[in-house]
Amino acid sequence: MFTGIVEEVGTVRAVHDDGGDLRLRIEAGAVLEGARIGDSIAISGCCLTLVAIDGDAFEVELSKETVAKTAPRWSVGARVNLERAVRLGDRLGGHLVSGHVEGTGVVTAIDAQPGAFVIGVRAPDAMARYLIPKGSVTVDGVSLTVVDLGGPGGTRDDLAPSEFTLWLIPHTLDVTTFGDLRVGDLVNIEADLIAKHLERLAGFGPREEASSPVTDDAATLTGSAR
């Protein structure tokens, strides 16, 4: 589990392609303090496992499925947002982030405003139901707040139903890869975890008391023993 608060920006130094599965070597610093093989780390929003650590670099592996579902950040020289998994007792500075990227969005606009940058992103249509104005969304591993949103319940008619805007302060640009983005770039997106759990729960309808097969079997056996 992560919080969406980026600890540092790393750089991809090597990529080994094994039939579509990738092994990356990433240069980093702070996230390697106390790191051990087997630890989880979020790389631009994608939860991966440390499989090797060597000095100021670490290695992770990506399956074909992960490569297909994420933005093309996996080339030599690419800069990536890094965050270690949260520990019990850590401060939750952003929101609950699983690191399971659900799809990629496209940057639709970048507008420099006094003291802020406004970035437009269009998410996959299937994710529109999880987006609300002032709600949380994870973009490239960063916990951010949806400012404006298109579609039903949105705040702007000129935006598509799955399109939203983000306001970024200069500090966020300095400590993440957002300063590298251009219109048309793809970004990794994860919807709010709580919203997805609520939808799943609502799909079951009212709670019904149901007998347990295990309990029923035990009762049958007990009755037979008498």
Query: 189 near 127, Cβ under 8 Å?
Result: yes
Same domain, 131 and 174: yes
CATH number, residue 68: 2.40.30.20
Same domain, 115 and 186: yes
Question: Does residue 154 carry a pLDDT above 90?
Answer: yes
Q: How many domains does the chain have?
A: 2
Question: Does residue 134 carry a pLDDT above 70?
Answer: yes
**Mean pLDDT along residues 145-167:** 94
C-alpha span between 53 and 8 (Å, rounded): 17
User: CB 141: neighbour CB atoms within 10 A?
Assistant: 28
**Domain range holding 60?**
8-84
Residue 61 covered by a domain: yes
Dihedral of CA 29/30/31/32: which sign?
Answer: positive
Per-residue model confidence as pLDDT tens digits over 5-56: 999 999 999 999 999 999 999 999 999 999 999 999 999 999 999 999 999 9
Per-residue model confidence as pLDDT tens digits over 49-85: 999 999 999 999 999 999 999 999 899 999 999 999 9
Same domain, 133 and 189: yes
Q: pLDDT value at position 114?
A: 87
How far apart, in Å, are the Cα atoms of 123 and each of 68, 97, 118? 16, 17, 16
Per-residue model confidence as pLDDT tens digits over 173-220: 999 999 999 999 999 999 987 777 777 778 887 776 655 566 555 555
Which pTM value belongs to this model?
0.86
Residue 94 covered by a domain: no
